[in-house]
Amino acid sequence: MDTIFIHDLRVEARIGVYDWEQHLPQTIRLDITLGAPSETPFHSGKIADALDYAKVVERLRAFAKDAPPPLLERYAEKTAQLLLTEYGVPWVRVRVAKLGQQPGVKELGVEIERRA
């Protein structure tokens, strides 16, 4: 199984259930693993055959700014569906973490895996 990964992507989002979270952007961390949509770039070596990682990162940053839903669970689900539909990958694993939200906790969040 061939995979593509984007780890430790930091994005700004207004996400959370508390009032202050709805009005104050906070940094969330994303770890994304995608099933490669094709084996072609592994054999051809051509960028035209490959998934453009920079465009995926740009899209994830834009999505985070587009008023995400309040729950991390829903944000993870919407992110997974975006990646499945817009990039034609067969499966995706999305891990979303809030950083330093609770005393003594480095990060907290959710991880989901979805298939096309």
List the catalytic residues: 98
User: Shortest CA distance to 59 belongs to which of 37, 92, 83?
Assistant: 83
Q: How far apart are CA 94 and CA 68, in angstroms?
A: 15
Between the CA of residue 17 and those of 83, 88, 100, 113, what are the distances in Å? 25, 32, 16, 23
User: Shortest CA distance to 34 belongs to which of 50, 45, 49, 12?
Assistant: 50
